[in-house]
Structure 1
Amino acid sequence: MLFRKTSIMKNEKNIEILKSKVEEVRICLFTTISAKDEFSSRPMATAKVEEDGSIWFFTNEYSLKSKEISKENQVTLGYSSPADNTYITVNGKAELVDDQVRKEAYFSAPVKAWFPDGVQDPRLILVKVTPETAEYWDGTSSKIVLAFSLLKAIVTGDQPDAGKHDKINF
């Protein structure tokens, strides 16, 4: 029983890390696989990261992206905040979800620009991404400290301290 409890606690910690980093950056490149088996990416705003680690987005039910998810639901999300030196990739399974309660809870003014009829727009659907793995790089140091670390590495031949990097599984 100790193994299961430890495993649950580790997963909760991984979800907490993922949630904080994704909420910090919010915009990602949402990558699907096209009908031609090519990667297809587009910027998307994260609507919500739930306590279980699932990541939610709004989309048009009739979009190419929705068709791609229906055919092949393996996706990659790439979050990037160069100003904060934070980068996250998430690999997981996507599914289209028509949930009126979540639509109402997660709907925001920016989403209204894409769906002027609001949560009643017949095209509006949610995409739920269930993470399987994630990887992040978090250089919490200032740009000056990072530049000094790079300069020091050039002079000494040592590896620069670029911050924290980790892979997490769910």
Structure 2
Amino acid sequence: METAHNTSLNKLKSLIDNGDIAMLCTLRDDHIHSRPMATSDIDVDGNIWFFTNEYSPKVDEVENNKNITLCYTDHTNNKYVCINGIASVVSDRSKMEELFNSSVKNFFPEGMDDPRLALLKVRPKHAEYWDSHSNSMVHFMGILGSSLTNQQSLGGEHGEIDL
């Protein structure tokens, strides 16, 4: 039997299934700092995993404030997702071995022996999404039509997911 949590988790996974890159947003001093991150995995519990440099500023930012935002964009399928969650730095070697692949080696040439290698784990709490279900021109025409008629466009789906 599927629970409400599993339904929400499956919805989130379907929205970001083509999202290899997320913009990770953290708080640095008094402003938001964003950078692209390659998604390594979304596990069965919904945690989103990234490899990171243990000595990078983002690690300090996460340790100072674990509340982060991830933004995924899938232009091909017109899906846009923002996820608010709790981040933590993980140094679990067995998890690193499970997720390590050749694309990670591009960033960490020493592979699993790279002393900088760490994982960033994000536990999603809330997500907001826009899924237009149509190509850009159809979506644009819907927006244009809604602005002319002063009615909301029916060109897609907008929703929120609590996890």
State how far apart, in whole Å, the 1-side matches of 2:148 and 2:89 are. 52
- Change in CA separation of 1:14 and 1:116 when aligned onto 2, cut-off 3 Å: same
State the one-letter code of the partner of 1:65. Answer: K
Unaligned runs of 5+ in 2: none
Structure 2 partner of 1:54: 47
Equivalent residues, number: 163
SS of the residue aligned with 2:59? Answer: helix
State the one-letter code of the partner of 1:13. Answer: T
State how far apart, in whole Å, the 1-side matches of 2:129 and 2:4 are. 16
State the one-letter code of the partner of 1:18. Answer: L
State how far apart, in whole Å, the 1-side matches of 2:83 and 2:38 are. 14
State the one-letter code of the partner of 2:10. Answer: E
Q: Percent identity?
A: 39
Q: Which runs of 4+ in 1 moved over 6 A?
A: none
State how far apart, in whole Å, the 2-side matches of 1:150 and 1:31 are. 28
State how far apart, in whole Å, the 2-side matches of 1:134 and 1:154 are. 27
Richer in helix (by share): 1
Question: What pairs up with 1:6-155 in 2 under 5 angstroms?
Answer: 9-34=3-28, 36-155=29-148
State the one-letter code of the partner of 2:19. Answer: V
SS of the residue aligned with 1:167? Answer: strand
Unaligned runs of 5+ in 1: none
The offset of 1:22, in angstroms, is: 2.0
The offset of 1:95, in angstroms, is: 0.4
The offset of 1:151, in angstroms, is: 4.0
Deviations 1:78-131 (A, max 9, x none): 111233211000101100001112211211222111100112211100000011
Moved more, 101-110 or 119-128: 101-110
State how far apart, in whole Å, the 2-side matches of 1:38 and 1:156 are. 39
TM-score w.r.t. structure 1 length? Answer: 0.88
Work out whether residues 23 and 49 of structure 1, in 8 Å CA contact, stay in contact via their aligned partners in 2: no
1:167 and 2:155 are equivalent in the alignment: no
